[in-house]
A and B are shown apart, each in its own frame.
Chain A
Amino acid sequence: MISANGLSVSLGGRRVVEDVSFALGAGEFAALTGPNGAGKSTALKALAGVAAVEAGGIEIGGAPAASLNALARARRVAWLPQTRPVAWNLRVEDVVSLGRFAEAPAAYDRMGAEGRAAVDAALAKADAAHLAGRTFQALSGGEQARVHLARLLASPAPCLLLDEPCAALDIAHQLSLMETLAAEAAAGRTVLVVLHDLELAARYCRRVMVMEAGRLVADGAPGEALSSEVLGRVFRVRRGADGALFRGPR
């Protein structure tokens, strides 16, 4: 569904993503993890089409990403950024309706029945249906995060990219988020999520990719990608006898 081939991205003259290659098929649910500054967010931005690709290529649904305009790309890939500003005190359902901008750039009350149904369904999936009708800036941080998630889920794009969607969510909502994403993958969407919580990644994702200093250094099933060798070398943690993670080498 979406693939990168020798992808390199520079920010301000510094290579932050270096020669990254992978391919994700339809229905795959993968986590992208790695220490701070590893280039995860930038790689995701390049896939979403908002960071300039310096070298290598991206293919989306069989087409080279460079051949797609912003609208065609938005129909195939939806992206949830790490920082999520909302300039005005918009209504919750208007924020969510922006997820369908590529289909029809209408506010909620001007959408067709199909669009409204998609927005309502997305709000329900994100456990935010009760927030409809409220204004965005009056919500708590976690509630805002769920509205942003609903915005992403309202998009009909077959590929979802999420950058740290668990930030600001309580534990129950983190688990519910991962279940929702797993269900989206089971329904045929490709889901790639940047996560710092290795336990969540290992528990819900069949595939984990690890980045370090711009490079993809591990890619496989959780047990393999998050082996004690990778944990020690990349994350500088070790697994204790009880399974908990501790700082420092073995």
Chain B
Amino acid sequence: MSRLTLILGLISAALLAVSALVGTAPVSLGDSLAALAGQGDAATRTILWEIRLPRAAAAFAVGAALGLAGAGLQGLLQNPLAEPGVLGVSAFSALGAVIAIFFGLAAVSSFAVPVAAILGAGVATVLLATAAMRGAGSVTLLLIGIGLSSFAGALMSLALNMAPNPYSLSDLVNWMMGSVANRSWADIVLAAPALAIGAALVLMAGPGLRALSLGDEAAVSLGADPKRTRLLVIGGSSLLAGASVATAGTIGFVGIVAPHVMRPFVGHDPQRLLVPSALFAGIVLLVADIAIRVLPFQQELKLGVAAALVGGPVFIWIAARMGRSFS
């Protein structure tokens, strides 16, 4: 493990603890610490262990999944603006989840929503990867992503119109804005297998991503297998994006910002970028989730909105810098 990974891991652990100590319920710091250690009264323990910690864990897991998927997709598409949110993968994933909810599949099995979210993510990722393999450049891929996002939004509205059981519009809005409020351990356990397998797949693609830096042909001549690398990243990032959307709805930009910030620390190597990006994105969402609970708004700000408020401008900044150096 590198020193960077170790430092990021320690910060993550510390922030998870901080996140458990912060909230709207009036619990003193001493009581919180006692409850965290398994002491104190039952109500406080419930607030910490059943409300705040699952929420913090969900924020970190979703951030880490998006950061890893972003770093993997950026390495594969060799484009620093690639990310599940920007490329329309998250929107398609949300579409899958919305279809599962609005057509009553969620009532059939608790796995219906995560599976539908992952399938939705897979459809979008395969479309993008097909375009990339046919030689679509950075701009084309981003345009396809914009198209996919809008299309998924339209289909979500359509699903809402056609749904046999009319849920309120606010359910749809929840999926589109992203939040980890009121998540339980059960939600996390449900997403855990997809997160674990997705992470393993993307990490396995690491060495191949570095070889791909020299182009497909050179990578083949080095003994790498670009097809396998593509499959691993596409499959892995679909699982990660799908599971994160199933847990928290669509949260954009984290997957772009984290790899971008970490890249100089790892020598711009697409393999060494993976784990630090995941940890850093987890930290970003943890901090954002702490911030929206501390900020004195009437109604709690949605996590996805908070992420976009910070991530949007950073995205524009990266794109503007790219334009200078590439065009």
Interface residues of A (CB under 8 A from B): 45, 48-50, 70-71, 73-75, 77-79, 81, 83-91, 94-95, 98-99, 101-102, 105-107, 135
Contacts and interface: CB of A to CB of B under 8 A. Distances in A.
A90 B267 contact: yes
B79 to A, nearest CB: 9
A106 B207 contact: yes
Interface of B: 78, 207-208, 210-215, 217-218, 220-225, 263, 267-272
B211 A105 contact: yes
Contact of A107 (B215, B220, B272): B272
14 contacts: A45-B217, A49-B221, A50-B217, A71-B223, A77-B221, A78-B221, A84-B215, A98-B210, A99-B222, A101-B223, A101-B224, A107-B210, A107-B267, A107-B271
B215 A90 contact: no
Contact of A94 (B221, B225, B269): B269
Chain B CB within 10 A, most for which of A48, A84, A88, A105: A88
A85 B214 CA distance: 5
Nearest to B215: A85
B268 A81 contact: no
Contacts of B225: 70
B132 to A, nearest CB: 13
Contacts of A101: 207, 211, 222-224
A90 B269 CA distance: 6
Q: Give the interface SS of chain B, mostly helix, strand, loop or mixed.
A: loop
Nearest to A110: B272
A84 B215 CA distance: 8
A98 B220 CA distance: 12
B270 A98 contact: no
Given A81-B215, A85-B214, A90 B268 contact: yes
Given A45-B217, A105-B207, A88 B270 contact: yes
A74 B269 contact: no
A135 B267 contact: yes
A91 B212 contact: no
Contacts of A75: 223
B211 to A, nearest CB: 6
B269 A107 contact: yes
Contacts of A79: 218, 221
Contact of A102 (B210, B212, B222, B263): B222
A245 B179 CA distance: 74
B211 A98 contact: yes
Contacts of B213: 86-88, 90, 95, 98
